[in-house]
Amino acid sequence: MSVLVRVPATSANLGPGFDSLGLALDLHDEVEVELAGDDVEIEIDGHGAGEVDPGEGHLIISTMRATFDTLGVDQPKGIRLRCRNRIPHARGLGSSSAAIVAGVLAARAFADAPGFDDACALELAARIEGHPDNVAPCLYGGFTIAYTAQGTPQAVTLPVHEDVRPVVLIPDFRLSTEAARGLLPATVPHAEAAANAANAALLVHALTRRPDLLLTATHDHLHQKYRAPAMPRTADLVERLRSAGVPAVVSGAGPTILAFSIGSAQDLIAPEVGSDWHIQPLNVDPVGAFVQFPETR
């Protein structure tokens, strides 16, 4: 028995929406999972090949094990993974969240646990990842607002305005989320926190109804400037793009940049970027993670 899971890349924060706002993008990893044999076998095509743990320590495998435990299901001896990875690793595009969501949904499919719905999947994925801002759009698709109520991670999805066109600018260098988080201060000035709250609220309106407000709405006061020393090229390019009128932010913890191409903004991006960044226009993925069994393909 095997299952195919398709999971999208995501961009979190979107500027001022630190640890809460996220967007699913139409760049996908595909994982075919089979319960067979006596060992863990992993084949990887694309990003992570020859780099990630080839055994029980692989994030999809460990997530599947954790999900089986949560569901009270006996652990299978052998698991075979065939991964087609198109999401770059350690670039701020949610590769770890994609792996976690894939693992949770694959295990759920094998366990045939109808009571373990998407809300349960989000809670477990967020617990494994540590925060819900990437796993929420990966699971649900579209533009998501992740929050915690009574200690439980939850999320809502909102439609994105048809004129919003994401563009990711991917550099050739990496930055771990842990390293980026380590640069954040324990406290920030009250005035900056208030300004950030206003922009985050405005960003919800801008993405869903008023794209013309995106340049103002994406201005961050909470995390990007503190992380800039770890990725000076990213910080410099974000500043230059914004000075040119392009709504640009650090994608997740970086170092990738997410820009929004509104009207003529697309024409302004390439001259600022140069040749050492990969410019990739993408659409918003409205579906999120998708599971198929072989007989339905």
List the chain domain ranges: 2-159+284-296, 164-281
Residue 96, pLDDT > 70, answer: yes
Task: Please give the pLDDT value at position 49.
Answer: 80
Q: Where are the alpha helices (DSSP H) in the chain?
A: 59-71, 95-111, 118-129, 135-140, 177-181, 190-208, 214-217, 224-227, 232-243, 265-273
Task: Please give the pLDDT value at position 263.
Answer: 62
Backbone conformation region of residue 288, classed left if phi is above 0, alpha if psi is from -120 to 50, else beta: left
Task: Please give the pLDDT value at position 55.
Answer: 86
Whether domain 164-281 has CATH 3.30.70.890: yes
Which string of b and e fits 187-201 if b means at least 16 CB within 10 Å?
eeeeeeeebbeebbe
Please tell me the distance from the alpha carbon of residue 134 to that of residue 24, in angstroms, as a whole number: 8
Q: CATH number of 2-159+284-296: 3.30.460.30, 3.30.230.10, 3.40.50.1820, 3.40.50.1100?
A: 3.30.230.10
Annotated binding site: 88-98
pLDDT band at 173 (very low <50, low <70, confident <90, very high): confident
pLDDT band at 297 (very low <50, low <70, confident <90, very high): very low
Annotated binding site for ATP: 88-98
Tokens at residue 146, please?
């992740």
100 three-state secondary structure: helix
Task: Judge if pTM exceeds 0.85.
Answer: yes
pLDDT band at 266 (very low <50, low <70, confident <90, very high): low
Task: Please give the pLDDT value at position 252.
Answer: 93
Residue 111, pLDDT > 80, answer: yes
Residues 210 and 184 sit within 8 Å (Cβ to Cβ)? no
Task: Please give the pLDDT value at position 1.
Answer: 75
* Mean pLDDT of the region 219-244: 93
Dump pLDDT digits (tens) for 177-201: 777 778 888 899 999 999 999 999 9
Residue type, 216: T
Tokens at residue 279, please?
């410019």
Distance between start and end Cα atoms, the chain: 14
